[in-house]
Amino acid sequence: MSRAFANNIDSFNHNNVITFTAADDESKILAWLSPLEPQVRHQDIRNQRVDSVGDWLLGTKEFRNWYNGCGKDESDHAALFCYGDAGVGKSYIRYERSSV
Amino acid sequence: MNQATLLLTGHDDSSVVVDHLCDRAIENDMAVACFYYDFASREAQSPTNMLGSLLKQLLSGLEAIPAEVWLKFQGQKKVIGGRGLLLPDFVKMFPAILSSRRTFICIDALDECIPKYRLQVLNALGQILQTSPNTRMFITGRSHIRGAVERELGGRVISLSIKPKDDDIVTYLRARLRQDTTPEVMDSELEDDIMNSILEEIPETYVTVRSPETLHK
């Protein structure tokens, strides 16, 4: 990526060595892009998770094909959508009510 | 712990996938970004915040901020203390960041996103897939959004129906019961009663069982 960066800068300026991304600027840029921090939620869910629950998904043919696939193949599916019914809705209604 | 306090979600499947991908990415110079939709935060989870969040995670893994992003920021920071980007701006930034390495983007519980936002996000994701052949996306959600997902992502998506695995549910329940904070009132008979009454209540669903206090953390 640093190469792409350098090339792009070359088109503006022929000085090869420009490193104007101070660490300070970097954290400002990241904050500007989005206030959300999903890694926090991932960590919460991860900590709550019970070992081996959900592991079966990793062994399915669909998951493996998706993981190993290459976007250049005609028949490739770059996206895998896993869906399931939420049941009769009783739990979901309770969920909605308790989170509003 | 009783039936009334049990809620069903699918977040665990996503978090297993995210961890699996992260472990491999660390070894193989790949990138992973994830996003968990959450009903309780739905207003804040706008399409621009969501895409910005993915971008932010991907940029954190790079040695330097790419010029495309840096120049955009330098321009926007001159006005109203750093004006935000619009959805098309974000979409245009992705190819430069995704081109250098294989990247996995995981999006959990897309059904919990506001419907209006969901279509915008799916449309943006479709464009990103089109311009970035190195990118793989993993999305979970309830089945009522399947039509929208397949419409927006077209032939690029394959759908997989997830059914509950009784083994998973039992493993999960046993582990939770072992964490009961009042073990003195628990015996094996009560444990079995709890397990059985819960399992009877579980409809066909892709979920594991979580209590409400873990849901809203």
pLDDT digits (tens, 9 = 90+) for B180-202: 777 777 777 888 788 777 777 66
**Domain B8-156 of CATH type 3.40.50.720:** no
CB-CB contact of A85 with B47 (8 Å): no
The answer to whether residue B168 neighbours chain A at the CB level (below 8 Å) is yes
Q: Sign of dihedral through CA atoms A45, B128, B72, A2?
A: positive
What are residue B140's DSSP bridge partners?
A: A82
The C-alpha torsion from A97 through A98 and B3 to B9, rounded to 10°, is 90
pLDDT at B208 exceeding the cut of 70: no
List, as own/partner pairs, every contact residues B141-144 make where C-beta atoms lie below 8 angstroms and the sequence separation is at least 24, other chains included. Answer: B141/A81, B141/A82, B141/A83, B141/B109, B141/B110, B141/B111, B141/B112, B142/A83, B142/A84, B142/A85, B142/A86, B142/B10, B142/B111, B143/A83, B143/A84, B143/A85, B144/B111
The DSSP line for B147-207 is HHHHHHHGGGEEEEE----HHHHHHHHHHHHHT-S-GGG--HHHHHHHHHHHHHH--S-S-
Task: Answer whether B44 sits within 8 Å of A36, measured CB to CB.
Answer: yes
How far from the centroid of its chain's Cα atoms is residue B106's Cα?
Answer: 5
- Token digits for B162? 């997830």
Least Cα separation, residue A83 to chain B (angstroms): 5
Are B36 and A46 an interchain contact pair (Cβ–Cβ within 8 Å)?
no
Supply angle C-alpha A73, A78, A79, rounded to 5.
Answer: 155
CA-nearest residue of chain B to A55?
A: B16
Question: Considering the entire predicted model, what is its pTM?
Answer: 0.72
* Percent of chain A scoring above 70 in pLDDT: 52
- pLDDT averaged over every residue in chain A: 66
Structural contact between residues B61 and A39, judged by C-beta atoms closer than 8 angstroms: no
Cβ contacts of B77 on chain A, cutoff 8 Å:
28, 32
Q: What local confidence, expressed as pLDDT, does residue A67 receive? A: 92
> Which pLDDT band holds residue B165 (cuts at 50, 70, 90)?
low
Q: Does residue A3 carry a pLDDT above 70?
A: no
- Residue B50 and residue A41: Cβ atoms within 8 Å? no
| Contact predicate B48/B121, CB 8 Å | no
Interface contact B180, partner A, CB < 8 A: no
Is A84 close to B161, i.e. CB distance below 8 A?
yes
- What was the pLDDT predicted at B202? 63
| pLDDT for the residue B153 | 93
CB contact under 8 A, B53 and A80: no
More confident residue, A17 or B27: B27
- CB-based contact (8 Å) between B203 and chain A? yes
Asked if the Cβ–Cβ distance from B67 to A5 is below 8 Å, we say: yes
Closest residue in chain B to residue A85, using alpha carbons only: B205
Residues B207 and B217: their CA atoms lie apart, in Å, by 18
Give the CA-trace dihedral at B91, B96, B101, B107, to 10 degrees.
Answer: -10
Quote ipTM for the complex.
Answer: 0.72
- Check A71 against B142: CB less than 8 A apart: no
Instruction: Tell me which of B93 and A97 has the higher pLDDT.
Output: B93
Mean pLDDT of A18-23: 53
For the residues B3-29, what does the mean pLDDT come to? Answer: 66
Domain ranges of chain A: 2-99
**Interface probe, candidates A16, A63, A83, chain B, greatest B C-beta count within 10 A:** A83
What tens digit of pLDDT does each residue of B89-105 get? Answer: 999 999 988 888 999 99
Going from N- to C-terminal start, the domains of chain B cover 8-156, 165-215
Q: Which candidate, A40, A46, A1, places its Cα nearest to that of A21?
A: A1
Total Cβ atoms within 10 A of residue A87 = 18
**A59 contact B CB<8A:** no
